[in-house]
Amino acid sequence: MVAIVDAEECTGCELCVDVCPVEAISMNDDELAVIDADTCNDCGDCVDECPVEAISME
Ligand code: SF4
Ligand code: SF4
- 29-46 pLDDT, tens digit per residue, is 999 999 999 999 999 999
Cβ-count burial of 47 within 10 angstroms (0-12 exposed, 13-18 middle, 19+ buried)? middle
Contact 49, 19 (CB under 8 A): yes
Cβ-count burial of 3 within 10 angstroms (0-12 exposed, 13-18 middle, 19+ buried)? buried
pTM for the complete prediction?
0.95
Q: Which DSSP state fits 33?
A: E
pLDDT range class, residue 1, cuts 50, 70, 90: confident
For the CA of 9, the nearest ligand? 2
State which CATH number among 3.30.70.20, 2.60.40.290, 1.10.10.10, 3.20.20.70 fits the domain covering 3-57: 3.30.70.20
For residues 33 and 44, what is the distance between their CA atoms, to the nearest angstrom?
A: 15
Contact 53, 9 (CB under 8 A): yes
| Ligand 1 pocket, Cβ-based, cut-off 6 angstroms | 3, 19-20, 22, 24-25, 35, 40-46
